[in-house]
Amino acid sequence: MALIEIRNLHASVEGKDILKGVDLVIEPGKVHALMGPNGTGKSTLSNIIAGRDGYTITEGDILLNGQSLLEMEPQDRALAGIFLSFQYPVEIPGVATSTFLKAAINARRKAAGDGEIDAMEFLKLVKAKAKELGVRDDMLKRPVNVGFSGGEKKRAEVLQMALLNPRFAILDETDSGLDIDALKVVADGVNALRSPDRSFLVITHYQRLLSYIVPDVVHVFAGGRIVRTGGPELAQELEAKGYADYTGAAA
Amino acid sequence: MAATDSTAQTVKELERYKYGFETNIETELAPKGLNEDIIRFISAKKEEPEWLLEWRLKAYRQWLTMTEPTWANVHYPTIDFQDAHYYAAPRQKVAPKSLEEVDPELLRTYEKLGIPLREQEALAGVAVDAVFDSVSVATTYKKRLEEMGVIFCAISEAVKKYPDLVRRYLGSVVPPGDNFYACLNSAVFTDGSFVYVPKGLRCPMELSTYFRINEKNTGQFERTLIVCDDGAYVSYLEGCTAPQRDENQLHAAVVELVALDDAEIKYSTVQNWYPGDAKGKGGIYNFVTKRAACRGRNSKVMWTQVETGSAVTWKYPSCILQGENSVGEFYSVAITNNRQQADTGTKMIHIGKNTRSKIISKGISAGYSDQTYRGLVRIQPGADGARNFTQCDSLLIGDQCGAHTVPYIETKNPTARTEHEATASRISEDQLFYCLQRGLNPEDAVGLIVNGFCKEVLQTLPMEFAVEAQKLVAISLEGSVG
Ligand SMILES: Nc1ncnc2c1ncn2[C@@H]1O[C@H](COP(=O)(O)OP(=O)(O)O)[C@@H](O)[C@H]1O
Ligand SMILES: [Mg+2]
């Protein structure tokens, strides 16, 4: 069975139609890339999958393991294994990153009927993962995303992903704002998480990231839907030719 | 609402305010009403010296000429001051001489409140005075403190044992006629704590008073006096809870702090009186006068308050910065939810040279609640080089609540400098969604975000209480989202 299946999804925000019939099937273990011009609805799609308020779904469905997500609260979707690495991670002043991570881990443990994670165990776990992703210890003490550079924010997102073990992760322009070294670290982090039962939707503007995270399938997204699907070579083609061919589809 | 829903709601409310139980204990009550005989009754019960009775009666006569203040942004039905008991005490055959003699029912009550009074079970490093309705029922670690020269006891006991100290300082910071409620308190106060830290001693234990209102139809009139002699230091914390009832009850306290040369007092409050139900029924009226006199050079007073309870709060812990180089600080978190109202803030009166004050206020309003920050910074002509920094942040949850900031700054000295910053914001959808996306439920998410918002204040609390306060912050906002 497909891990994620999006069927003819139409959605609007404030009366404006953004998604106009998205169809997408992602099998377990696969990495799909979603590429396309700005302002065409890629972040909207991510937010809707994650259950953000404020969108009206006028048609279609989103299924995780064959079950509709539409009636589920965002936190329940998260606990069911959906993770969104945000394009613009938000700041939470006064809340230490490690406190936040612990709360997220404990939310999962609570849902599973387990007790809270032991403080020492947590520290060991976080420090090990942080090291792998080049996240410095002092960043864990700083408030969530406050004063983080663009690159630090994205690394922190990937660190959260690594700690929360999602079934389906959406990376919304995780590469933007990263220099090449940071890009490699982040890509390594994602690659390390690739497994037969975990799938990814990697939203990006540039082919660059896809040289490090090699996708199984590439989609072109324009005008609120997927307009073309191919293999990794499609990304190369887009890199060479740009999105000029597709911007018309937005009309 | 369906019956099952309303039951579920009730259960939820009960969980929310877990201190709402009532202790079944035989109580001695003064007859209802307020007159000179009642004051004589209280004074006699406390076996007070004549001067104190006179002091009370004088205050009472003055109170009769005063009217209730109406300038605060709070609304409640007129209080019938004749319709309450002004003295309520658990009936005890003989006054307990030690903790072993305290009524087990009272010990159990405090245990349920998370305040074990038996010293072997109590929090190490924290001495507790337990005030139940109108009397102090127990004080822990009294012996150990006495050996060091620290006096920590019920004020009624101090009146008898240390009359000179009490007489010297009582009413010296908040005179009986200061304001309507302080005057009422001066006439009818029952119990509270007395602390004296001798010259040069840093009190090694946290001192803490736990106020509990239990009896119905009573008012509680706490009176606390803390004196830190030259070079002394003390950290003191008060906690408050009351049973969950449909009627409103009055808690009108007066707290006076005196800091002499180089002395430092850190006074923290975790105020969790019953706030009333979701519809605004019941709850405590918390009308409190708290003031510190920084009398000595280089003296310092730091007020920290976490105000989550009470139906109506009217409270402005203040500092009179008299001594040269004296410092006053005020850190406040006030949370109002449902129908709660709070008008709270501080006054910093700069009199001495180079006096400094700092005000950090974090107000969180949710539900249909209304909150006002009211602050006064006054720089007197002699306060050369005085400095004040004020920061008031308010956070709104939902769109039915109110937040107001009323800062008064009066500068009568050209060398003084004051700085004022204020922000008002809402919990952003972005922050909330970010937390939910990581699996937190809306209540935990709000708790986390609000705790972050208040962090600067919460971290000034003594460590032993900081974690409890964080939990309290989260609990007080339950039901405010989703
Ligand atoms: N909350 C919103 N209110 C109004 N318009 C929105 C909102 N969110 C997104 N949009 C609009 O939807 C379109 C798609 O935005 P987005 O999903 O962010 O695109 P992308 O991620 O592909 O750049 C844009 O035109 C954007 O202005
Ligand atoms: Mg986007």
Q: Could you report the per-residue pLDDT of B84-140, keeping only the tens digit for each? A: 888 888 776 566 667 777 777 777 777 777 777 776 666 667 777 777 777 777 777
pLDDT > 90 fraction of chain A, expressed in percent and rounded: 75
> A15: domain CATH number?
3.40.50.300
Inter-chain residue contact B436 with A75, CB threshold 8 Å = yes
Position B12 scores a pLDDT of 54
% of chain A with per-residue pLDDT over 70: 98
Joined together, the tokens standing for residue A113 give: 């009927």
Of the candidates A75, A89, A94, the beta carbon closest to that of B441 is on A75
Distance CA B268, CA B305 (A): 6
Ligand lying closest to the C-alpha of residue A18: 1
Average pLDDT, chain B: 87
Name the closest-CA residue to atom 3, ligand 1.
A13
Q: What is the DSSP string of A214-239?
A: --SEEEEEETTEEEEEE-HHHHHHHH
By C-alpha distance, which of B94, B105, B101, B208 is closest to B152? B208
User: Residue B408, Cβ neighbours under 10 Å: how many?
Assistant: 11
Per the prediction, chain A carries an average pLDDT of 92
The DSSP annotation for A86-136 comes to: -SSPPPEEEEEHHHHHHHHHHHHHHHTT--PPPHHHHHHHHHHHHHHTT--
Of the candidates B428, B440, B453, the beta carbon closest to that of A94 is on: B453
Measured in Å, residue B25 CA sits from the centre of ligand 1 at 64
Give the distance from residue B457's alpha carbon to the nearest chain A alpha carbon, in angstroms. 11
A94 and B433 within 8 Å at the Cβ level: the answer is: no
Find the mean pLDDT for residues B413-421. Answer: 95
Q: Could B434 and A51 be called an inter-chain contact, meaning their C-beta atoms sit closer than 8 Å?
A: no
Surface of A (160-179) touching B: CB under 8 A: 160, 164
Q: What is the pLDDT of residues A104-142, one digit of tens each?
A: 999 999 999 999 999 999 999 999 999 888 888 899 999
Answer yes or no: is pLDDT of B478 > 50: yes
Q: Which residues pair with B287 in a beta bridge?
A: B314
Q: Which residue puts its alpha carbon closest to atom 7 of ligand 1?
A: A13
CA–CA separation, B17 vs B39, rounded Å? 34
Predicted confidence band of residue B28 (pLDDT cuts 50, 70, 90): confident
Percent of chain B with pLDDT over 70: 94
Q: If DSSP states are collapsed to H, E and C, what string results for chain B?
A: CCHHHHHHHHHHHHHHCCCCCCCCCCEEECCECCCHHHHHHHHHHCCCCHHHHHHHHHHHHHHHCCCCCCCCCCCCCCCCCCCCECCEEECCCCCCCCHHHCCHHHHHHHHHCCCCCCCCCCCCCEEEEEEECCEEEEECCHHHHHHHCCEEEEHHHHHHHCHHHHHHHCCCCCCCCCCHHHHHHHHHCCCCEEEEECCCCECCCEEEEEEECCCCCECECCEEEEEECCCCEEEEEEEEECCCCCCEEEECCEEEEEECCCCEEEEEEEECCCCCCCCCCCEEEEEEEEEEEECCCCCEEEEEEEECCCCEEEECCEEEECCCCCEEEEEEEEEECCCCEEEEEEEEEECCCCCEEEEEEEEEECCCCEEEEEEEEEECCCCCCCEEEEEEEEEECCCCCEEEEEEEEEECCCCCEEEEEEEEEECCHHHHHHHHHCCCCHHHHHHHHHHHHCHHHHCCCCHHHHHHHHHHHHHHCCCCCC
Residue A204: CB within 6 Å of ligand 1? no
| Residue A204 host element (H or E) | strand A199-204
Q: What is the pLDDT of residue B4?
A: 46
Q: What is the pLDDT of residue B2?
A: 45
Among B430, B452, B454, beta carbon nearest to A143:
B452
Residue A248 confidence class, pLDDT cut points 50, 70, 90: low
> Is the confidence at residue A162, as pLDDT, over 80?
yes
Residue B300's nearest CA partner among B271, B340, B259 is B259
Q: Does position B344 have pLDDT exceeding 50, yes or no?
A: yes
> Which H helix or E strand runs over A187?
helix A180-193
Count other Cβ atoms within 10 Å, centred on residue B304.
Answer: 26
Residue A212 domain flag: yes
Contacts of A93 in chain B (CB under 8 A): 452-453, 455
CB count in 10 Å sphere of residue B121: 10
CA of A205 to the centre of ligand 2 (A): 9
The alpha-carbon gap from B317 to the nearest alpha carbon of chain A, in Å, equals 25
The ipTM, to two decimals, is 0.96
Instruction: Determine the distance separating the centroid of ligand 1 and the alpha carbon of A41, expressed in angstroms.
Output: 6
Contact B437 A93 (CB under 8 A): no
What number of residues does chain A have?
Answer: 251
SS3 assignment, position A148:
coil
Confidence of residue B3 (pLDDT cuts 50, 70, 90): very low
Q: Which of A44, A47, A53, A92 is the best substitution to test chain B (most B C-beta atoms within 10 A)? A: A92
Closest Cα of chain B to A244: distance in Å?
32
The number of distinct structural domains making up chain A is 1
A109 domain-assigned:
no
Residues 6 or more apart whose CB falls under 8 angstroms from that of B76 comprise B248, B285, B311, B312, B341
Q: Which helix (H) or strand (E) holds A25?
A: strand A16-26
pLDDT of residue B273: 80
Q: Is the CB of A250 under 6 A from ligand 1?
A: no
Q: Is residue A112 part of a domain?
A: no
Res B9: pLDDT: 53
Residues in chain A within 8 Å Cβ distance of B439: 75, 78-79, 104, 107-108, 111, 164
Mean pLDDT of A156-168: 95
Each residue of B183-210: pLDDT tens digit? Answer: 999 999 988 899 999 999 999 888 988 8
**Residue A22 falls within a domain, yes or no?**
yes
Question: Which residues in A lie closer than 8 A to residue B393 (C-beta atoms)?
Answer: none
pLDDT of B259 = 98
Tell me the residues of chain A between 25 and 54 that have a Cβ less than 8 Å away from chain B.
47, 50-54
User: How high is the pLDDT of residue B1?
Assistant: 39
Average pLDDT estimate for A152-178: 92
Q: Which residues of A touch B437 (CB under 8 A)?
A: 50-51, 74-75, 78, 83-84, 86
Residue A58 lies in domain: 4-91+164-250
pLDDT score of A164 more than 80: yes
B chain contacts of residue A90, beta-carbon cutoff 8 Å:
428, 430-431, 434
Provide mean pLDDT across the span B315-323. 96
* Mutant choice from B429, B435, B450, B457 vs A, greatest count of A C-beta within 10 A: B435
A184-243 residue pLDDT tens = 888 988 999 999 999 999 999 888 899 999 999 999 999 999 999 999 999 888 888 888
Tell me how far apart the alpha carbons of residues A224 and A37 are, in angstroms, rounded to a whole number.
11
Is A35 part of a structural domain of the chain? Answer: yes
- Which atom belonging to ligand 1 lies closest to the Cα atom of A37? 22
- For residue B442, the chain A residues in CB contact (below 8 A) are 75
Task: Identify all chain A residues contacting B453, using CB atoms and an 8 Å cutoff.
Answer: 93-94
Strand partners, B356: B327, B387
Burial class (CB in 10 A: 0-12, 13-18, 19+), A15: exposed
> Relative to the CA of A172, which ligand 1 atom is closest?
21
Instruction: Tell whether A120 is covered by a domain.
Output: no
Residue A136 domain-assigned (yes or no): no
What does the pLDDT average to over B343-370? 94
CB contact, 8 Å: A248 with chain B? no
Of the listed ligands, the closest to the CA of A41 is 1
Residue B436 has pLDDT above 90, yes or no: yes
The answer to whether the CB of A42 is under 6 A from ligand 1 is: yes
- Cα–Cα distance, B480 to B482 (Å, whole number): 7
Is B440 within 8 Å of A103 when comparing Cβ atoms? Answer: yes
A39 lines ligand 1 (CB under 6 A): yes
**pTM of this prediction?**
0.87
The verdict on the CB of residue A40 being under 6 Å from ligand 1 is: yes
Query: Which pLDDT band holds residue B58 (cuts at 50, 70, 90)?
Result: very high
